[in-house]
């Protein structure tokens, strides 16, 4: 049975399935239905600690405490709500680190943007997350806890989850896949409503589909690859780690992933004013992603104070999109949310670190 370690050899329950919790209860000489009760209080009622699971006998809660078992929830350290309702949470972990989660509401859906790591080692120049480097990867329960925290903060059931927050998901693939399994089975969020976003890590994409089948039984979640440049030269200037993963190899791996899974690959492209938003670059991008089923998401840059990049004008964004459409590329413009409250990933954590 899987009980995830926390710092200090504690144990956590969040992230365990109903059957695993039943087995855990039986291992403590309790009836299996105790495991089902714990599951309900973890995932439906959102218990933050053992004392809140009032249906459990006090003697069992005492026993769990003596075993140093924890629920595994994150603590809300700060909440920022934008004018459009976008809600960003700064959440504290058991070992005193901070991680961001964002709830993005529309009339018909609530998307939760979750982090997979504390900080990031990829060092993309336009991203606030990587400015402080990587602290560590998140455990499964710390990823699941972000979704539950947003659900509580916004009093609304999440419909979609995107791994587009802090960190590189493919450098924490085991926890990410375990989290997807729990999101699907324990919180009822279908795989097709879950997206994993990667900037590209050499030798990981060819293995991802096979690993997902082994861990999840199928590969139905969405894959989004952050390109941000139509050429290797420009990509290396924006993404230092691209030097070890040529853009041609990355696209080859994306085609291989599509052939294995049958799932369309999305390409994320942050438009940086007068840097990668020229019409010629749109033509280059169309040539790059053409030839297999894919989709391009154009994202207007959200400025951060440490970098000189500019947000492109509305006219340049739509002109870029028009070129792609003329070349037969499926393309959309992602609406910017929470601009009045520093929408870029990692900004809230970075501001908090600067204050400390």
Q: Among the options 22, 94, 100, 135, which is catalytic?
A: 100
* Closest of 173, 165, 243, 157 to residue 205, by C-alpha: 173
Q: Among the options 120, 124, 254, 345, which is catalytic?
A: 345
Non-local CB neighbours of 14 within 8 Å, separated by 6+ positions: 42, 71, 72, 73, 141, 144, 145, 148
At 323-342, the pLDDT tens digits run 999 999 999 999 766 555 55
Query: 255 by DSSP, 3-state: which?
Result: helix
Higher model confidence: residue 292 or residue 75? 75
312 contacts 273 by C-beta, under 8 angstroms:
yes
Confidence of residue 307 (pLDDT cuts 50, 70, 90): confident
Q: What are the residue ranges spanned by the domains of the chain?
A: 4-70, 75-355
Q: DSSP per residue over 288-335, as a string?
A: HHTTSSEEEEEEE----TTS---PPPHHHHHHHHHHHHHTT--EEEEP
94 is catalytic: no
Q: Measured between alpha carbons, how far is 180 from 96 in angstroms, rounded to an integer? A: 25
The pLDDT, as a whole number, for residue 341 is 53
Higher model confidence: residue 290 or residue 198? 198
Q: Measured between alpha carbons, how far is 101 from 112 in angstroms, rounded to an integer? A: 7
Task: Say how many C-beta atoms besides its own lie within 10 A of residue 90's C-beta.
Answer: 19
The pLDDT, as a whole number, for residue 7 is 56
Looking at CATH, the fold of the domain delimited by 75-355 is given as: TIM Barrel (3.20.20)
Checking if the pLDDT of 217 tops 90, the result is no
The pLDDT, as a whole number, for residue 160 is 98
Rg, the chain, Cα only: 21
Confidence of residue 353 (pLDDT cuts 50, 70, 90): very low
Least confident interval from 77-91, 149-163, 251-265: 251-265
Task: Say how many C-beta atoms besides its own lie within 10 A of residue 284's C-beta.
Answer: 16
pLDDT, average across residues 18-44: 97
Residues paired with 222 in a beta bridge: 195
Q: Measured between alpha carbons, how far is 238 from 146 in angstroms, rounded to an integer? A: 29
The pLDDT, as a whole number, for residue 313 is 95
113 is catalytic: no
Checking if the pLDDT of 116 tops 80, the result is yes
Higher model confidence: residue 5 or residue 140? 140
The pLDDT, as a whole number, for residue 5 is 58
Share of the chain above pLDDT 90, in %: 80
Task: Say how many C-beta atoms besides its own lie within 10 A of residue 321's C-beta.
Answer: 18
The DSSP element (H or E) to which 90 belongs, if any, is strand 87-92
pLDDT, average across residues 267-289: 97
Checking if the pLDDT of 356 tops 50, the result is no
**pTM of this prediction?**
0.92
In the DSSP assignment, the letter for residue 169 is: G
Checking if the pLDDT of 354 tops 50, the result is no
Non-local CB neighbours of 208 within 8 Å, separated by 6+ positions: 170, 173, 219, 223, 257
The pLDDT, as a whole number, for residue 306 is 72
At 218-229, the pLDDT tens digits run 889 999 999 999
Integer CA distances (angstroms), 63 to 36, 56, 111, 197, in order: 18, 11, 38, 41
Confidence of residue 308 (pLDDT cuts 50, 70, 90): confident
The pLDDT, as a whole number, for residue 285 is 98
| pLDDT mean across residues, the chain | 91
CATH 1.10.150.530 fits 4-70, yes or no: yes
pLDDT, average across residues 239-248: 95
Sheet holding 69-70, edge to edge: 4-6, 10-12, 69-70
Share of the chain above pLDDT 70, in %: 91
The pLDDT, as a whole number, for residue 355 is 42
pLDDT, average across residues 51-59: 96
Confidence of residue 348 (pLDDT cuts 50, 70, 90): low
């Amino acid at each position: 049975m899987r009980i995830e370690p926390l710092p200090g050899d504690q144990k956590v329950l969040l992230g365990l399935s109903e059957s695993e919790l039943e087995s855990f209860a039986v291992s403590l000489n309790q009836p299996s239905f105790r495991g089902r009760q714990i599951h309900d209080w973890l995932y439906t009622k959102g218990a933050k600690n053992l004392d809140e699971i009032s249906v459990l006998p006090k003697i069992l809660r005492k026993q769990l405490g003596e075993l140093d078992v924890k629920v595994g929830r994150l603590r809300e350290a700060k909440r920022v709500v934008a004018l459009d309702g976008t809600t960003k949470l700064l959440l504290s972990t058991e070992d005193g680190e901070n991680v961001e989660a964002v709830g993005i509401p529309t009339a018909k859906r609530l998307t939760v943007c979750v982090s997979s790591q504390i900080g990031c080692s990829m060092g993309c120049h336009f991203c606030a997350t990587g400015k402080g480097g990587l602290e560590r990867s998140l455990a499964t329960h710390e990823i699941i806890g972000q979704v539950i925290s947003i659900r509580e903060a916004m009093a609304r059931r999440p419909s979609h989850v995107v791994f587009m927050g802090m960190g590189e998901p493919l450098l924490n693939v085991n926890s990410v896949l375990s989290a997807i399994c729990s999101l699907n089975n324990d919180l009822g969020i279908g795989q097709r409503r879950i997206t994993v976003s990667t900037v590209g890590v050499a030798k990981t994409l060819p293995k991802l589909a096979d690993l997902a089948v082994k861990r999840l039984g199928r590969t139905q979640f969405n894959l989004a690859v952050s390109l941000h440049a139509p050429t290797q030269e420009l990509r290396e200037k924006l993404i230092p780690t691209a030097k070890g993963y040529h853009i041609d190899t990355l696209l080859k791996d994306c085609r291989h992933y599509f052939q294995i899974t049958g799932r369309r690959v999305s390409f994320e492209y942050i438009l940086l004013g007068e840097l990668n938003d020229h019409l010629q670059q749109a033509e280059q991008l169309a040539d790059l992603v053409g030839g297999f089923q894919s989709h391009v998401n154009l994202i207007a840059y959200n400025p951060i104070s440490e970098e000189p990049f500019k947000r492109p004008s509305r006219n340049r964004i739509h002109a870029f999109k028009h070129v792609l459409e003329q070349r037969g590329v499926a393309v959309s413009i992602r609406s910017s949310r929470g601009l009045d409250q520093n929408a870029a990933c990692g900004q809230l954590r970075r501001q908090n670190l600067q204050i400390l």
